[in-house]
Structure 1
Amino acid sequence: MKTENVDAYIIPTSDEHLSEYVSKFDERRVFITGFKGSAGTAVVLSDGTRALWTDGRYFLQADQELDCNWLLMKESVDGVPTIPEWLKDKLQPNSVVGADPKLISAMEWLEYEKDFQESQITMRGIAKNLVDELRPGREEIEGPEIPIQILELQFAGKKWEEKVADVRKELEKQQADMIVITAMDENAWLFNLRGGDVPHNPGTLNALASLDSVKKVILPSKYSYSGGANYAIYSAIKAGNSWNEISAADRLEKFRAEQEYYHSLSFDTISAFGSNGAIIHYSPSPETNKEITNQSLYLLDSGGQYKDGTTDVTRTLHYGTPTKFQKEAYTRVLKGAINLALLTFPKGTKDTRVDIVARSSLYEVGLDYRHGTGHGIGMFLNIHEAPTQMRIYGTEEHELKEGYFFSDVQVH
């Protein structure tokens, strides 16, 4: 760890396929901890502190097999910190957490990076596995006694060539160049092969081809017992075209222009990433233009003028993992929009008075937004058409009448 200049090192259970069970060749966590359960993650600090996280199936077993040098962290028990929480408490700002990127899923790695960001802690992939450096005779571990077998057609159901052809058809539908299949059982099923590289699991360890010459790749995500693609595979794929606020707005305008009856935009597109989304009526400029990444929210408020109508569409997107607060705020805004759309009200009700229905879910937790909820929309006319205003802060009130057309979005 000193040689690699890392302050902590994460040692998961999994192999490069992110399998639930691993071969003896890949039992790194067992070697370093002595704990033989099938689930658990070890973390070692540069000062010698070490801890193991495992779930309720293995609390007793881990307590028996770990020696006194290890802290047992019982997952999902009140008061027990998660790995990121524990590391943020133990490490100083600008610390580095190392791990083998081949053994941690891309999703988990990105979550670590996000959790550590505020504490100024960095995740670093280390090509050589530090546990393997300590394992004498690892290369001499005997391989499986069960050779790879071809599964007969009567059991496989289809020839492997037919299965691959089906996958290629799906790739064409998705307009992708490649799909990366990392799970041992999925590869075994696809090619009608069975083996014994991992005890009791008749899959086979296999390698991956180069990813340099493709433009769009479908990667597996974590699902149930499958860990998805590891971070090494994820980071090996070169990113495609990047997007920023201006390029996204320009592309959207191009798509609108291709639609029938299109005349023009109905207002300047609000294309806002991250903190720019908090600026009401924000318009991107070369000075403020931000790249759109998977690290925050992207607000896209746009509309078009068409001969058969005028549109105003707001979308809030996140291409990564939103925070708990972002999810809550989004959900409460959505509840308000649904409540307003379903509202039944008596004749004579004023527009500004129903706005509270859209805001009530936010009011429950002390939140609000400083702009209207909706407004009248013209028919190939003004995007803001009098008299309707769903604006609780408005100084005018107008009776809602049959035939009025207005938006039900948290407009800027």
Structure 2
Amino acid sequence: MSTYEARLQALREQLKRDRLDGFVVPLTDEHMSEYVGAYAQRLAWLTGFQGSAGTAVVLPEEAAIFIDGRYTLQVREQVDPKHWAYVSVPETSVSDWLGEHAANGARIGYDPWLHTRAWVEAATSALAEKGAELVAVDTNPVDAVWPDRPEPSRARLVVQPDEFTGKNSAEKRAEIGDWLAAKKADAVVLSALDSIAWTFNVRGKDVERTPVALAYALVNRDGTADLFVQPEKIGEDVAKHLGNAVRLHDRAEFPKALAGFAGKRVAVDPERAVAAIFERLEKGGAQTIQLRDPAVLAKALKNPVEIAGHQAAQARDGAAIVRFLHWLSIAAPKGGLTEMSAAAKLRAFRDETGVLEDLSFDTISAAGPNAAIPHYRVTDESSLPITMNGIYLVDSGGQYRDGTTDITRTVIVGEPTPEMRDRFTRVLKGHIAIATALFPKGTRGQQIDAFARRPLWEAGLDYAHGTGHGVGSYLSVHEGPARIATFGGGDEPLAAGMILSNEPGYYKGGEYGIRIENLVLVVPKDVPGAEREMLGFETLTFAPIDRRLIAADMLTEKERAWLDAYHAQVVEKIGPQLEGEVRAWLEEACRPL
């Protein structure tokens, strides 16, 4: 019996002991985080799936894993089809599947600290049609059968100085207090880890790749706050930084504290707060008001200090990328390189900056067919050699105290095929369409998403992921609320100060993948004769785009002009940090088409 088969069997036996006929296992934590600490990696432990989004459902005789289009290939490589059915979302929701597959009268368990209230309501409704019920558990049955489950991190919090934030924590809390007064609310629950880190100007090391600390917070109308975090994680420097207006409590006391708001109006974010938070507040006599966490938009609208820090981080990171691409141009044709060794070398170039805190996500180092998996994660077992006449895609980023970076470059080792050039150029045309887009204030990301897809659509092609996501300031590399996408958050108006990615792609299953990603800043644009307030993008990421993969005759004059101007900026911003052979290579890589 395989390891994962044994784990599935152990969970089923535990469910019998718990008098449950099924259980739902999402990939998240008590804070609805996208990236979670090792202690919360229940889905990976149970199934072997290493992606960053997914859910499993275990019933007595069948089990299913739910993934989106990014993981269609990956899930088949990592999860055994003998024991798991693959279900694509959003085509089929977990709730709908449960409604079809749960037995009449079944008791389906869920952990109320790992699901939103909306999910609970949808699943309850779907099961009710079968005479089945959704049952909240006090103890997660996966934890009961996971013998070596890691402990939550005990790393200490660190202060994020005002020189990087541009606004102190007292000012941020006062603004939240004003927001509460306007909403006629007494307090707000902050449960999203990046919102807490941003509001209190602290960072942590509790989640790999995202500098946040495991905590909860309650901010009151008067600007005071209660922060719930393990006591040993708070040093004297952090306590002094937080000051007397922030009362400190053990994280374990948070559920009990929610019962102390009888007769009060408490704002709770229905997307970011778990169902258990609502239940505890309401049982304690509080009136909950469903409103978006006030830090979400404020955090996304970067101030001048944050923008300047991000530009500095991008310039530093860009130089590391160029050193890597130069090294790759010499080492790859000689043979012997693998996805793993290339990723390690890129990490080394970033480490040489002397100020890298962490990567911003696990590097996607992908050769040939692995590049066709959009969110591929290289392992010792999956690592392929980087071979001649093949495509190599590297999507990576760094966490620096002054900014978070995210860049993808696709390069050819040897000679590309005409098809590769065609597909790469279509992706480039889409990338340029976003980079040069002008749009009136109030435009949503979903309205411009098609700009990037049109060159692919004209050839009957597409890609199964969004075109852009928000990026934090030494915070999460995937930050809401805005996205450039036709789904999942693409309806947030784009506003000046937001930083997003611009990353169209193309993926040919089993053969190769292409993606070109820069980060862009939403800025006001002066359009002569405009009758509306106009916005556009300023590109923040600077590294060469592989000219060998471009079919120049497919580009318009304006597109060629954009690319030549962009490459000139790369030399201007990155060149002074380089010398000798690397500088000469950069100038050659960036010469006009």
So what's the TM-score if we normalise by structure 1? Answer: 0.53
Q: Could you say which residue in structure 2 is the equivalent of 1:6? A: 20
Give deviations 1:104-135, integer Å, cap 9, x for gaps.
11221122122223222211110111111111
Q: Which of 228, 233, 246 is matched with 2:277 structurally? A: 233
Q: Do the aligned partners of 1:54 and 1:75 also contact (CA within 8 Å) in 2?
A: yes
Map of 1:132 onto structure 2 = 143
Query: Match of 1:197?
Result: 206
* Structure 2 unmatched ranges of 5 or more: 1-14, 217-227, 229-253, 288-593
Kindly indicate whether the alpha-carbon contact (under 8 Å) linking 1:180 and 1:218 is maintained by their aligned counterparts in 2. Answer: yes
Q: Which residue of the other structure, out of 36, 39, 44, is the alignment partner of 2:50?
A: 36
- Give the secondary structure class of the aligned counterpart of 1:18: coil
Contact in 1 for aligned 2:109/2:136 (Cα 8 Å): yes
User: Structure 1, residues 268-323: CA drift from partner, whole Å, max 9, x if none?
Assistant: xxxxxxxxxxxxxxxxxxxxxxxxxxxxxxxxxxxxxxxxxxxxxxxxxxxxxxxx
Distance in 2 between residues matched to 1:99 and 1:221, nearest whole Å: 17
Match of 1:180 in 2: 189
Distance 2:146 2:196 in 1: 29
2:274 aligned partner, one-letter code: N
Amino acid at match of 2:87: M
Q: Which has the higher helix share?
A: 2
Instruction: Show the 5 A alignment for 1:222-371.
Output: 222=271, 228-238=272-282
Secondary structure of 1:131's aligned partner: helix
Q: 2:153 is matched with which residue?
A: 143
Q: Bigger shift: 151-160 or 25-34?
A: 151-160
In the alignment, residue 47 of structure 2 is paired with which amino acid?
T
The 8 Å contact of residues 206 and 213 in structure 2, kept in 1 or not, is answered as yes
Which aligned runs of 4 or more in structure 1 are off by greater than 4 angstroms? 239-242
What residue is the counterpart of 1:278 in the other structure?
none
Cα distance, 1:231 vs. partner? 0.8
8 A Cα contact 1:106 1:230, kept in partner: yes
Does the 8 A contact of 2:27 with 2:55 survive in 1? yes
2:98 touches 2:126 (CA, 8 Å); kept in 1? Answer: no
SS across alignment from 1:92: coil
Aligned to 1:159: 168
Alignment partners' CA distance in 1, 2:169 and 2:95: 43
Total equivalences in the alignment? 231
Q: 1:183 to 1:142 in 2, by over 3 A?
A: closer
Matching residue's letter, 1:201: T
Report what 1:294 is aligned to. none
Distance in 2, matches of 1:161 and 1:85, equals 45
Change (3 A) 1:149 1:100: same
Which residue is equivalent to 2:259? 212
Give the whole-Å Cα distance in 2 for the aligned partners of 1:216 and 1:95: 36
Give the 3 Å change call, closer, same or farther, for CA 60–127 of structure 1 in structure 2. Answer: same
Change (3 A) 1:202 1:93: same
Does the Cα contact within 8 Å between 1:195 and 1:203 map onto a contact in 2?
yes
Cα deviations by residue, 1:249-271 (Å, 9 ceiling, x for unpaired): xxxxxxxxxxxxxxxxxxxxxxx
Cα pair 1:88 1:119 within 8 Å, conserved:
yes
Displacement after TM superposition at 1:155 (Å): 1.2
Shift of 1:25: 1.4
Alpha-carbon distance in structure 2 between the residues aligned to 1:27 and 1:89: 27
Rg larger in structure: 1
User: What is the DSSP-based 3-state SS (H/G/I as helix, E as strand, rest coil) of the residue aligned with 2:87?
Assistant: strand
Coordinate RMSD, CA, aligned: 2.0
Please name the residue that 1:59 is paired with.
72
SS in 2 for 1:238: helix
Q: Residue 26 of structure 1 corresponds to which residue in structure 2?
A: 40
Distance 1:219 1:212, change over 3 A: same
* 3-state SS of paired residue (2:24): strand
3-state DSSP of counterpart to 1:9 = strand
Query: Do the aligned partners of residues 149 and 241 (structure 1) sit closer, same or farther apart at CA in structure 2, a change above 3 Å counting?
Result: closer
- Equivalent position of 1:352 in the other structure: none
Indicate yes or no: 2:97 matched with 1:86.
Answer: yes
Match of 1:265 in 2: none
Superposed displacement of residue 142, structure 1 = 7.7
Structure 1 residue 169 and structure 2 residue 173: aligned?
no
Partners of 1:136 and 1:174 in 2: CA distance: 46
Q: Distance in 1 between matches of 2:31 and 2:71?
A: 23
Cα deviation, residue 213, structure 1: 2.5
SS of the counterpart of 1:196? coil
CA distance in structure 1 between the partners assigned to 2:98 and 2:59 by the alignment: 9
Equivalent residue number for residue 257 of structure 1: none
Query: Match of 1:104, as an amino acid?
Result: H
Cα distance in 2 for partners of 1:113, 1:2 equals 21
SS at the partner of 2:147?
Answer: coil
**Structure 1 residues not aligned, in runs of 5+:** 223-227, 243-412
SS in 2 for 1:211: helix
Residues 394-409 of structure 1 correspond to what in structure 2 (within 5 A)?
A: none
- Partners of 1:113 and 1:56 in 2: how far apart? 26
By how many angstroms is 1:76 displaced? Answer: 4.0
SS where residue 258 of structure 2 aligns? coil
- Match for 1:114: what amino acid? S
SS in 2 for 1:212: helix
- 2:234 paired with 1:221: no
Cα displacement (A) at 1:235: 1.0
Residue identity matched to 2:65: L
Counterpart contact for 1:6–1:46, Cα < 8 Å: no
Q: Matched residue of 2:51: which SS?
A: coil
**Amino acid paired to 1:99:** Y
Q: What's the CA shift string for 1:64-93, capped at 9, x where partnerless?
A: 10112111112245xxx4322322222233
Residue 50 of structure 1 is aligned with which of 54, 63, 84? Answer: 63
Q: Does 1:96 align with 2:143?
A: no
Match of 2:350 in 1: none
Offset at residue 179 of structure 1 (A):
0.4
